[in-house]
């Protein structure tokens, strides 16, 4: 009976993990193809991003309010001094990363976008070394060389290569390295109480919106103000369809962050990293099948080389975690409903800080 109970528990945990991974895939792959689909007809990616930020802020504020009413525990609210001095740099880097990434969809294919964004791991490692979050080791140098070599092979003589789009997404990956390094440092400041990603999203979105607004005003403001799709609309039905499509993207973006944290809270940041590797393969296969992206044998070899570098980095993190006694699950997993788990009061202990800090770095690897 005891063995049967263990088998049932193992199968249930495996099915739960598989379900959470598939949920994460739906949101992550879905928003990638959504952004590409929408930018084909709506050529204002920065405005689209800003509306997504507003929707994420709305949902995160609503989530915080619901949990505060049900638990009667106040949510963390930062002072203006801490907000502007400590959160603003992370918010600005995040806004530029997301904004440039969405902007690149005007020019490049989903496959080139996916491959180039995978190089964010390279920049995360570089900035982790600069900020002394990682120690320089021969294995890390090998990871950098594999990812850089794979990126070169994937873009070499690509028939659908676009310099402008590639520069935008590569710039986003570079800024993404700064973004996730700053995010990890922000989460390690326990006195701020931003270890919970919902609280982090709530505080980041307003500054991200303001940080992206100057770029929007310069590059899209005039064109959008004269566009018949928004401000000078003549067809109310078309306006509602456009706004509905934009709102859907915001829901996907919030769902992505929610599903990522749900996955890592039930398993570990290592599971998220491994799932992200297979997600990249699925994205490229879907891009080639559904969108007709042309990927040569050399491009596939470059992609495989890049994934081997990412896999090596994940394996190194797994060995490091095993040396520290294995990955620690978040405390209290069995004692709260999922919503309360995701939005619980932000007074974590030191182990929680480390695990959730690794979660945000794992996000940067996707």
Nearest 5°: phi and psi at 173?
Answer: -65, -40
What is the pTM for the complete model shown?
A: 0.80
| Average pLDDT of the residues in 303-307 | 88
pLDDT of residue 158: 66
CA 49, CA 95: separation in Å to the nearest integer? 9
* Tens digit of each residue's pLDDT (9 = 90 or more) over 108-128: 999 989 888 887 878 878 887
| Tokens (6 digits) for 219 | 């590059």
CA 119, CA 127: separation in Å to the nearest integer? 13
pLDDT of residue 84: 92
| Tokens (6 digits) for 76 | 């963390």
* Tens digit of each residue's pLDDT (9 = 90 or more) over 23-80: 999 999 999 999 999 999 899 999 999 999 999 999 999 999 998 898 888 888 898 9
* Tens digit of each residue's pLDDT (9 = 90 or more) over 133-150: 777 888 888 888 888 888
pLDDT band at 360, cuts 50/70/90? Answer: very low
* Tens digit of each residue's pLDDT (9 = 90 or more) over 76-97: 889 899 899 989 999 999 999 9
Is 64:72 a contact under the CB 8 Å cutoff? no
Is 117:29 a contact under the CB 8 Å cutoff? no
CA 1, CA 329: separation in Å to the nearest integer? 27
pLDDT of residue 322: 66
Residues 6 or more apart whose CB falls under 8 angstroms from that of 328 comprise: 351, 354, 355
Residue 160, Cβ density class (10 Å: 0-12 exposed, 13-18 middle, ≥19 buried) = middle
More confident residue, 326 or 206: 206
Is 346:192 a contact under the CB 8 Å cutoff? no
| Tokens (6 digits) for 2 | 């005891």
CA 222, CA 109: separation in Å to the nearest integer? 27
């Amino acid at each position: 009976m005891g063995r049967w109970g263990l088998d049932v528990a193992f199968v249930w945990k495996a099915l739960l993990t598989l379900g959470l991974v598939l949920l994460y895939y739906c949101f992550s792959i879905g928003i990638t193809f959504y952004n590409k689909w929408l930018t084909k007809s709506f050529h204002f990616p920065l405005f689209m991003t800003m509306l997504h930020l507003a929707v994420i802020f709305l949902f995160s504020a609503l989530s915080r309010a619901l949990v505060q009413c049900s638990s009667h525990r106040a949510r963390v609210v930062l002072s203006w001094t801490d907000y502007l001095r400590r959160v603003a740099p992370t918010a600005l880097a995040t806004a530029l990363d997301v904004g440039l990434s969405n902007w690149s969809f005007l020019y490049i294919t989903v496959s080139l976008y996916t491959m180039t964004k995978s190089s964010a791991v390279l920049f995360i490692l570089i900035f982790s070394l600069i900020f002394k979050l990682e120690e320089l080791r021969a294995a890390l140098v090998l990871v950098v060389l594999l990812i850089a070599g794979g990126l070169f092979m994937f873009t070499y003589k690509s028939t659908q290569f676009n310099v402008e789009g590639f520069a935008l997404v590569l710039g986003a990956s570079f800024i993404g390295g700064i973004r996730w390094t700053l995010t990890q440092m922000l989460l390690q400041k326990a006195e701020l109480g931003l270890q919970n990603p919902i609280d982090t999203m709530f505080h980041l979105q307003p500054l991200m919106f303001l940080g992206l607004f100057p770029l929007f005003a310069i590059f899209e403001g005039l064109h959008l103000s004269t566009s018949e799709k928004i401000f000078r609309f003549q067809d109310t039905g078309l306006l509602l369809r456009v706004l509905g499509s934009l709102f859907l993207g915001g829901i996907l973006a919030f769902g992505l962050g929610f599903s990522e944290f749900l996955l890592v809270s039930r398993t570990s940041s290592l599971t998220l990293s491994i799932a992200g590797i297979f997600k990249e393969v699925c994205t490229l296969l879907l891009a080639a099948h559904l969108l007709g992206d042309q990927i040569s044998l050399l491009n596939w070899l470059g992609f495989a080389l890049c994934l081997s570098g990412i896999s090596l980095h994940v394996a190194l993190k797994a060995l490091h975690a095993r040396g520290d006694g294995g990955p620690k699950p978040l405390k209290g997993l069995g004692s709260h409903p999922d919503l309360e788990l995701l939005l619980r009061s932000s007074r974590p202990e030191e182990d929680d800080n480390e695990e959730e800090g690794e979660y945000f770095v794992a996000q940067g690897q996707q």
